[in-house]
Amino acid sequence: MTHSAIENHRVVAGPTVRFESLLATLGITCEGEKSGSASSDFGLSQEAFTLVEAEGRLELRPPGEAENSGISAHFPPDRFVGKGSKSILVRAFGKKANVIFDLTAGLGGDAYRLARSGHQVFASERDSAIYALLISGWERDRELGNVDLEVSKRLEFSQEEGARVLDQIDQADIGVYLDPMYPRPRRHKALPKRELQVLRQLLGDDEDDAAVLLELARLRAARVVVKRPHRAPPLLPDVSFALSTKLVRLDVYVNPDLMQAASS
Ligand SMILES: C[S@@+](CC[C@H](N)C(=O)[O-])C[C@H]1O[C@@H](n2cnc3c(N)ncnc32)[C@H](O)[C@@H]1O
Is the confidence at residue 35, as pLDDT, over 60?
A: no
Mean pLDDT, range 15-40, rounded to an integer: 77
Task: Supply the pTM of this predicted model.
Answer: 0.89
Mean pLDDT, range 26-37, rounded to an integer: 70
Name the 3-class secondary structure at 21: helix
Write the pLDDT tens digit of every residue in 191-232.
668 888 899 889 987 777 999 999 999 999 999 999 998 888
Average pLDDT, the chain: 86
Say yes or no: CB of residue 130 within 6 Å of ligand 1. yes
Report residue 157's pLDDT band, with 50, 70 and 90 as the boundaries: very high
Report residue 87's pLDDT band, with 50, 70 and 90 as the boundaries: confident
- The residue ranges of every structural domain in the chain are 11-61, 78-263
What is the distance between the alpha carbons of residues 132 and 237, in angstroms, rounded to a whole number?
A: 35
Q: Looking at ligand 1, which atom is closest to the CA of residue 125?
A: 22
User: Taking a C-beta distance cutoff of 8 angstroms, is the pair 97, 119 a contact?
Assistant: yes
Phi, psi of 176 (to 5 degrees): -125, 140
Q: What is the pLDDT of residue 30?
A: 86
Say yes or no: CB of residue 181 within 6 Å of ligand 1. yes
Say yes or no: CB of residue 137 within 6 Å of ligand 1. no
Most distant pair of Cα atoms in the chain: their distance: 63
| The CATH number of the domain covering residues in 78-263 | 3.40.50.150
Residue nearest to ligand 1 atom 18, measured at CA: 162
What is the distance between the alpha carbons of residues 141 and 145, in angstroms, rounded to a whole number?
A: 6
Alpha carbon of 180 to ligand 1 centroid (Å): 5
Task: Give bridge partners of residue 101 from the DSSP assignment.
Answer: 122, 176
Amino acid at residue number 250: L
Regarding predicted confidence, which is higher, 97 or 166? 166
Write the pLDDT tens digit of every residue in 107-154.
999 999 999 999 999 999 999 999 999 999 999 999 999 999 999 999
Q: What is the pLDDT of residue 6?
A: 47
